[in-house]
Amino acid sequence: MWTQNINWSGLGTDDPRLDIQQANLIFVFGQTDAFSEGGEGMLSGVSALRQAAPHAHIIGASTGSSIAGQALHEEGLQALAIGFERVSLRQAAVTVDAAQESYDAGVRLGKALLANDLRHVLMLSKGLEINGSQLAEGMTSVIGDRVSLSGGMAGDGARFGQTFVLLDGQPQEHMVAAIGFYGDALRIGTSASGGWREFGPERLITRSEGSTLIELDGVPALDLYERYLGDEAAGLPASALIYPLKIRNPDYPDREMVRTVLSVDKETRTLTFAGDMPEGWSARLMRGQFDNLVLGAEAAAEEALKSLRRLEPDLRPELSLMVSCVGRRLLMGQRTVDEVEAVSAILGDDVPQTGFYSYGEIAPLAGTGVSGLHNQTVCLTLFAEVP
């Protein structure tokens, strides 16, 4: 496997940086404004990539902050070209107009990619008006637990205005795209870790509909958030990004997930999250501290390496895809780069890294081996090839 970082600025078809004829996959991450229709240089840049790498799958997502190596970028676009030597790829995409279509979208994508030699699926989804947990559940209902699944939901920083997903052509606002990786030469390591701390009493989800939380302990959900956030409640939903909820299945207490608020309805006093909020589950507010979040990123890197090396202890990652939550970005501010550097320090400074800050991360759920939706985590996917 080989990789090449591509600086998007001024990208043209004759650019000497585009010596990537053998690439079969190109990641593109960057600012929402650059992804939106008419964004300066977007379509011409995709055209230049397509001409330079005619056989590559070009996939990407909008974000507030993109990751390239050990650096964060707040403007423009970043691209990384990859050449797999013994792994084949296939792509699929669906349009999702409403959150209720999420499970079916995952099923359709899974069926489009399923094959005997499928080893991993990378999925990038629109970030708004979608149920990420249902999307992942639909996919895993088809591919099962023998095929790993990772990815994330496109972002828009703290604005929550529009998100976009790119697959080969023009970015689309309502797209979910996936790439299937095939062949016995592929090795994958995945992980998810947070570093947030619980506070306040544990509460019961007494009323919900899908990803919409209506009541906690019989009290309107928004009332609870406003009580805890105080003056910060005026900034909802963005201010809720630094106060996520940890939810727990009462039948499997060791299976925990973190959920982030995506939208607020002040008239109905409800909160809509990135994934399901099942009735009867417990919920507890969380908050983060800088040092703990960096430790969470380090834990994600260590767990991903362990996952990659479960059969081959000396295997070295050749590529890292890092998907971290926008809530972490907002809380850590200018020091967010510390978690990116922490991951690189553990994986190795020479391991190429790309990624973005998302509205939801997809990786295996603790204690299950089956992937689902996370929030407020660092999710890593490590790639390697063997002879």
pLDDT tens-digit readout, 143-183: 998 999 999 999 999 888 999 999 998 899 999 999 999 99
pLDDT by residue (tens digit) across 284-308? 998 877 888 999 999 999 999 999 9
Query: Is 379 in contact with 323 (CB distance < 8 Å)?
Result: yes
Break the chain into its structural domains and give their ranges: 2-193+291-385, 197-286
Tell me how far the alpha carbon of residue 240 is from its chain's centroid.
19
Fill in the DSSP letter of residue 375.
S
Residue 14 pLDDT greater than 70, yes or no: no
Q: Are 177 and 124 in contact (CB under 8 A)?
A: yes
Please report, for residues 15, 57, 166, the alpha-carbon distance to residue 18 in angstroms, rounded to integers and kept in the order given: 6, 15, 19
Q: Where are the beta strands (DSSP E) in 174-244?
A: 175-182, 186-193, 197-198, 203-209, 212-216, 219-220
DSSP, res 172: B
* Structure tokens belonging to residue 194: 């947070």
Give the pLDDT confidence score for residue 11 in this predicted structure.
62
Does the pTM surpass 0.85? The reply is: yes
Burial per residue of 180-219, b for 16 or more beta-carbon CB atoms within 10 angstroms, e otherwise: bbbeebbbbbbbbbbbbeeeeeebebebbebbbbbbbeee
pLDDT for residue 16: 57
Mean pLDDT of 229-256: 82
Check whether 363 has a pLDDT greater than 80.
yes
Question: Does pLDDT of 58 surpass 60?
Answer: yes
Please state, in angstroms and rounded to a whole number, the distance separating the CA atoms of residues 98 and 151.
Answer: 20
Burial degree of 17 (CB within 10 A; 0-12, 13-18, 19+):
middle
The pLDDT of residue 172 = 94
Q: Which residues of 41-55 are buried (b: 16+ CB within 10 A; e: fewer)?
A: bbeebbebbbebbee
Check pLDDT > 90 for residue 35: no
Model pLDDT, residue 120 = 98
Q: Residue 354 has what pLDDT?
A: 97
